[in-house]
């Protein structure tokens, strides 16, 4: 059972980081908008914003790749995911405390300003990553059955979809005129 949970965590975390990476590099405009959002957060000195944005993109790509691989590579990927998600959550909290209305460019395109829901999204992903980390540390290599694999992948795909379209889902349930 733990092996299927680990597989689901691997697919979900890898999928989220892959979509996040792809959204930021899908074109020059997307990349520039992401760099601008890093600058607007005012957490790193302005001259370092482009380097910080590029480092985030590279780290997301590495995380997506490593987590997708079987243990022990996925263990390293989950360590990276936990570190990134902890840092991202901290950056959002600092930005919110400073009153920032910088847009969330987590997946490249969304322009919704950062808010508490983004902290909740990061903490949820952090919980999935910590679960995957614990599983990758303790799971032995086992043969997985097709039905279990399918269920694990479908569950992970639902998580990826919900996380990546989070801003859109919030907008559906937000009262008109509310932020």
- What is the per-residue pLDDT across 36-91, written as a single tens digit (0 to 9) for each? 888 888 888 989 999 999 999 999 999 999 999 988 889 999 999 999 999 999 99
Within a domain: residue 41?
Answer: yes
Give the total number of structural domains in the chain.
Answer: 1
Q: How confident is the model at residue 139 (pLDDT cuts 50, 70, 90)?
A: low
Question: What is the DSSP-derived secondary structure letter of residue 139?
Answer: P
Q: How many CB atoms lie within 10 A of CB 79?
A: 17
Within a domain: residue 78?
Answer: yes
Within a domain: residue 179?
Answer: no
Within a domain: residue 10?
Answer: yes
Within a domain: residue 178?
Answer: no
Range of the domain at 34: 2-173
Q: What is the mean pLDDT of residues 117-144?
A: 85
Within a domain: residue 88?
Answer: yes
- Please tell me the number of Cα atoms within 13 Å of 130 on its side-chain side: 8
Within a domain: residue 44?
Answer: yes
Within a domain: residue 91?
Answer: yes
- Calculated CA dihedral for residues 134, 140, 144, 150, nearest 10 degrees: 10
Looking at residue 105, what is its pLDDT? 75
Looking at residue 42, what is its pLDDT? 84
């Amino acid at each position: 059972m733990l092996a299927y949970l680990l597989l689901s965590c691997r697919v979900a975390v890898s999928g989220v980081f892959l979509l996040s990476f792809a959204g930021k590099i899908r074109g020059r405009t997307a990349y520039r908008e992401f760099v601008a959002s890093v600058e607007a957060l005012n957490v790193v000195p302005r001259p370092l914003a482009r380097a910080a944005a590029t480092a985030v993109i590279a780290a997301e790509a590495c995380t997506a790749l490593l987590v997708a691989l079987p243990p022990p590579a996925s263990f390293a990927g989950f360590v990276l995911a936990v570190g990134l998600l902890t840092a991202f959550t901290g950056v959002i909290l600092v930005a919110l405390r400073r009153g920032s209305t910088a847009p969330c460019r987590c997946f490249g395109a969304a322009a919704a300003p950062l808010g508490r829901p983004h902290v909740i999204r990061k903490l949820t992903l952090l919980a999935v990553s910590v679960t995957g980390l614990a599983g990758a540390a303790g799971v032995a290599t086992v043969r997985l059955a097709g039905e279990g694999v399918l269920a694990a992948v479908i569950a992970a795909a639902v998580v990826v979809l919900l996380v990546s379209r989070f801003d859109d889902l919030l907008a559906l349930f937000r009262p008109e005129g509310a932020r």
